[in-house]
């Protein structure tokens, strides 16, 4: 039922118990349940800025109040599945970065993105994260010479490794990081 004295309507809407009531401890402030008409009356008399100075009101009305830092974009090309750059965070005690340092993928110095498949292909080719297109070609050429059956006296035991090297090269040569 509505908490307003004399009202028999169902109390479906929550409102503070007493105007300006604060929570005690960690819980929410006390509240009461009101019907639609009484909650409308309560809301019409509510003033968010009551008790604030002019400077505090101006600060609260800034368009980006509370949003001083931009958020990163979430898109399929490299947003949601990539962790945030640690340079975007203040971590003076190294509390966050120390925990994830070994799991964080290295970023390229040129800023070009690497997908998970690109990183796996670079691991197969045993390339550094900052390898360029020339290093990619040289490493591919070296590994093909090493694993090709013609260079191993017809030994086909390296055939799977050769196929992996070729697939990794095909992946990387079409990657934006090597364009």
pLDDT means per 10 residues in the chain (179 residues)? 91 79 64 91 85 87 69 55 61 68 70 83 89 92 89 82 93 86
How much is the pTM?
0.44
Quote the pLDDT of residue 115.
81
Q: Which domains does the chain have, with CATH numbers?
A: 13-60 (no CATH), 116-178 (1.10.287)
**pLDDT tens-digit map of 127-167:** 988 888 899 999 999 999 888 888 877 778 888 999 999 99
Distance from C-alpha of 138 to C-alpha of 135, rounded to nearest angstrom: 5
Distance from C-alpha of 88 to C-alpha of 85, rounded to nearest angstrom: 6
Q: What tokens were used for 92?
A: 């003076």
Who contacts 15 (Cβ-Cβ below 8 Å, separation ≥6)? Answer: 31, 32, 33, 34, 39, 42, 43
Answer whether 140's CB lies under 8 Å from 146's CB: no
Quote the pLDDT of residue 79.
47
Q: Angle formed by the axes of helices 133-147 and 159-173, to 10°?
A: 160
């Amino acid at each position: 039922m509505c908490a307003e004295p004399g009202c028999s309507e169902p109390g479906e809407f929550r409102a503070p118990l007493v105007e300006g009531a604060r929570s005690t401890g960690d819980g929410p402030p006390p509240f009461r349940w009101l019907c639609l008409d009484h909650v409308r009356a309560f809301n019409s008399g509510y003033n968010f800025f009551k008790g604030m100075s002019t400077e505090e009101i101006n600060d609260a009305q800034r368009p980006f109040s509370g949003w001083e830092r931009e958020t990163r974009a979430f898109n399929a090309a490299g947003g949601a599945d990539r962790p945030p750059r640690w340079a975007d965070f203040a971590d003076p005690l190294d509390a966050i970065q120390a925990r994830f340092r070994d799991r964080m993928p290295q970023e390229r110095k040129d800023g070009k993105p690497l997908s998970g498949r690109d990183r796996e292909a670079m691991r197969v080719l045993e390339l550094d994260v900052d390898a360029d297109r020339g290093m990619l070609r040289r490493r591919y050429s070296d590994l093909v010479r090493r694993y090709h059956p013609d260079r191993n006296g017809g030994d086909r035991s390296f055939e799977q490794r050769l196929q992996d090297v070729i697939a990794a090269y095909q992946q990387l040569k079409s990657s934006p990081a090597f364009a």
